[in-house]
Amino acid sequence: MIKKLLLLLLLASFTAHSQEIGPENLFSTQIGKNIKQYRQKSQDAYANKDFERAEFLFDSLINNVVNDSYLDNFKVKKLSGRKVELYDFEKPVFLITYASWCTTGVGEIPALNELAEKYHKDIDFVLLFWDSKDKVRKTARKYSSKFTVLYVDEKENTHDHIVETMKHSLGFPTSFFITKEKQIVDVRRGILHPYNEEFNSSYNMHYNAYLNGISLLKNLNLDAEDGYVSKLKP
């Protein structure tokens, strides 16, 4: 009897969650309704070199449109060539979209690697590259093995919905912070970094920025060591 009740509760929970993620609640639907207007206003802002307004428009799009929507169950590939779905990840997801030619800050990858090593038991760390398999394989060697590396080759997927929805709408590098229920709680652009920046400065900036996002997914008890203070590396 107890087993039957537990099964019914599980089925009810799954059904309720499935109903919650209806087409109208998906990221692709929400971004599709608003992206045309956003692009026009954003292009005008950049044309006028009004970078403050451009940033305001992006933040407004994320806060008022993207946040609280649910990520689509896009199909992607692992370096092994095996196809996977984004809903295959059972933990909260820290997803970064990249391309092999993106120039990272000198301390960015070390900061990401340390965070992945530290929090991978509670969060799935995922890198999604818009690139060919060969280019991704070379770039992926820089990252911790705690990252799951995925890719979408546009030459093979000229009409792929994920490219239009995730890459062309928000650009890259972009970080998505996603709950285990696949609800997006925040989206952030990559940090701008000056050339010839010092390692410690770059490391601290990226570590604290990414930890801030991770804290949205996991209720970290941030203390002086692991909070928003600097963490100098030798």
Strands 124-130, 147-152: parallel, antiparallel or unpaired by DSSP? parallel
- Virtual CA dihedral for 219, 225, 228, 233, nearest 10 degrees? -130
**How many angstroms separate the CA atoms of 230 and 89, rounded?**
31
Average pLDDT over residues 28-40: 87
Q: pLDDT tens digit string along 45-59?
A: 999 999 999 899 999
CATH class held by domain 71-234 = alpha beta
Sheet strand arrangement including 124-130: 83-85, 75-78, 147-152, 124-130, 93-98, 174-178, 184-189
Residue ranges of domains in the chain: 21-69, 71-234
3-state secondary structure at position 154? coil
pLDDT in tens, 89-140: 999 999 998 888 888 888 999 999 999 999 999 999 999 998 888 999 999 9
Task: Judge whether 205 and 183 are in contact, CB under 8 Å.
Answer: no
